[in-house]
Structure 1
């Protein structure tokens, strides 16, 4: 999760998102063990809040709002990628 600053997400040479504070990224790595699907680059000085797999599983199981936020983020990013591919 981004605590402060801005991060750009790119797939190949295409920018798919510029993210700001209170935004999560890297969640797919905690859900499956596949190689990363995008590159994250700091646009400014960035402070991140790292989340381990154990912490992630705890948050998902104990905080329904967090789990819903992750699912909405994944759905939004999938829809965005579908538009980029079309």
Structure 2
């Protein structure tokens, strides 16, 4: 994870979809020094990578707001999910 500039924090997340429609995701928030701030994980009842990608962003944004941060960098590997959020 590349360092960010203060006051930004960075969200890194990942997700997985299994046969049968089960999915899970998780993410971590770190400050500009790479220090752990918070994390999340969730079991999802959806079998689509797109939906899992959107949940990762939503849960990460929710966690970011809950810790009181308004400057966020999202690193995400599902480009379409990110574009849908813009």
What is the TM-score with the length of structure 1 in the denominator?
Answer: 0.30
The structure where helix makes up a greater share of residues is 1
What is the TM-score with the length of structure 2 in the denominator?
Answer: 0.30
The structure where strand makes up a greater share of residues is 2
